[in-house]
Amino acid sequence: MKSLRLPVAGLLTLYVAAVSGCQSGSDLPQAPLLLAMEAEVSDHLDATYKNLEHSSKELVGAELGMAFGDAAMTYHAYDLPLMARKCYSRAMELDPSDPRWRYLLARIEIDIGNLQEARAHLEQLSLVNPDHLPTRVALGELQLELNDLDIAKETFRAILFKNPRCVPALSAMGKIALQQGDPELALGSLEEALNLSPGASGLRYPYGLALRDLGRTDEALEQMEARGDAVARVSDPWIEEVRSRPVGARIPLNRGISLFQEGYYVEAEKLFRSSVRSAPESASSHLNLGSALVKLNREQQAIPEFEEAIRLDPGSSIAWFNLGVIHASEGDDPIAIHCYDQALLNDSGMHEALFNRANALRRQKRYQESAHEMKKVRISRPGNSLAWLAESVCYLRIDRADESLKVCRQGRQATADDPRLVSLEGRILACLPATPEDQLLKALGEIDELLANEKALEYVETKAMVLAALNRFPLALQWQQAAIEAARKAGRGEIVKRLEVNKALYLGHEPARDPWPESDSADEPAGELDLPGPTSSPERSSASRAPKVTSQ
């Protein structure tokens, strides 16, 4: 179990935390000694300490405990663990009825390596607050880290009794079973955890070990290759309260980031411009201003901001990424690919850049390369359904339908049956020669389930394809005509033109030939939209096209 480390936003200089006990005659810990810190950080921390001094003179009991706890969370957020520890301890003494202080103190103890002290706090807290899931999970993970496997097993078993879908508990039970030589039990727990949280790539390796120990070598290797660092966490409002503290060197920058994340782009732009004026050599200020301008549909004004951010910080993977998104949206994929390459050169783990780069390759009809890159994306992020979808479609473009079907089915398993992958499998089966009737009937049932939840044009077209493959041409024509009318009503002429092709086939009692027909219209949108085809629309565009902000 890795201890919690909260990043310090925008802190470019150093601090020295001098906590040598309490000042004589005072319950206050000695103020941290701040060396060479940026002015606004120093002012913020100085104001925090002065407020605590004032509270110590004016307040008593639980109210004073609240003041110590509030200060502790600020120090915690600034990654001043010793100061935070002192203040949490004092808050716990003065305000013992508030469980936050003991819990956050335990997290600090874990952070600085005092595992037994942390364990004692978590054990006591779990006795008085047994329903607080983050406490129970943290205690179990700590017991596991201290190699108390049987005790940890009982802790996680109790968690699962009340919370049977708790992924961290299922994950831990799988790891414990693996360590205790029970790969079958481990496999069951880890498989359930991955079904609930497909993106938890950190579980792929132990899952692979369980498969290996059961003799399923090929499956084991595939899972081990998909290993990553992502882990599932329980919702932890107390830690989130710490994370949300307004820390950082540039207050306008941080406030702007908060507004940006809440969707207030006009207000965020004003604050980012203020940050640029006060710190013109700050790459972060220019980067974030550019991101706000993109959100305000002023991409041409954003380009020089991103370019200035890159000039000031050539290693800014986010600035390169955002610049690539703009060029892709303008249809200049070669320059976009160059930008994504630079982003990946600086941060090889930036899977959004890898995904967008693969999409740009696909738009250039470099399908083999795109499929190779999409495979990298879905290995590192197995829950990325669009990567599975795109890779599968790329194989269709190079006449490798069997490989496309294999990837599609693997993607369904990895994403717990993502609807678009369910639809794509139905399309592939409908266009393959001699697909068994029972497989087509199964696909038809799955499509009907999708349509019961969402009357998407894509699913309507898929149903028509499957019906045609079953030789139910009159019914296929009805569904295809419904798709055409929906596309026409939406003003998507390029889709209408494409849908007419299959309509003509069905009229001639022929099944569809292309599972994922692409529009040949010059009006097909560029940029990071969903795959062109049945449901290509801004509303369903990939999240990776959004500009990014940074506090560094």
Q: Which two structure tokens, joined as six digits, stand for 374?
A: 């999409």
For residue 53, being part of any structural domain is answered with: yes
Write out 356-401 in H/E/C secondary structure: HHHHHHHHCCCHHHHHHHHHHHHHHCCCCHHHHHHHHHHHHHCCCH
Paired residues of 22 in beta bridges: 29
pLDDT by residue for the chain (552 residues), tens only, comes to 333 333 333 333 333 333 333 333 347 888 877 654 556 667 788 888 999 999 999 999 999 999 999 999 988 887 788 999 999 999 999 999 999 999 999 999 998 999 999 999 999 999 999 999 999 999 999 999 999 999 999 999 999 999 999 999 999 999 999 999 999 999 999 999 999 988 788 899 999 999 999 999 989 998 988 887 677 888 899 988 887 776 544 567 777 887 887 788 898 898 888 888 877 888 888 999 999 999 999 999 999 999 999 999 888 899 999 999 999 999 999 999 999 999 999 888 888 899 999 999 999 999 999 999 999 999 988 888 999 999 999 999 999 999 999 999 999 999 999 999 999 999 999 999 999 999 999 999 999 999 998 888 999 999 999 999 999 999 999 999 999 998 888 888 888 999 999 999 999 999 999 999 875 332 333 223 222 233 222 222 233 445 555 544
Paired residues of 33 in beta bridges: 16
For residue 79, being part of any structural domain is answered with: yes
> With DSSP H G I counted as helix, E B as strand and the rest as coil, what are the percentages for the chain, rounded to 5?
70, 0, 30
For residue 45, being part of any structural domain is answered with: yes
For residue 498, being part of any structural domain is answered with: no
pTM, full prediction: 0.52
Instruction: Give how many domains the chain has, as a whole number.
Output: 1
Q: Which residues contact 469 (CB under 8 A, 6 or more apart)?
A: 429, 430, 431, 435, 440, 511, 512
Q: Which domain, by its residues, includes 55? A: 1-124+245-249
For residue 21, being part of any structural domain is answered with: yes
How far apart are alpha carbons 78 and 248 in whole angstroms?
A: 8
For 134-145, how does the pLDDT look when each residue is reduced to its tens digit (9 = 90+)? 999 999 999 999
For residue 180, being part of any structural domain is answered with: no
Q: Are 382 and 199 in contact (CB under 8 A)?
A: yes
CATH number at residue 23: 1.25.40
How far apart are alpha carbons 68 and 91 in whole angstroms?
A: 5
For residue 154, being part of any structural domain is answered with: no
For residue 484, being part of any structural domain is answered with: no
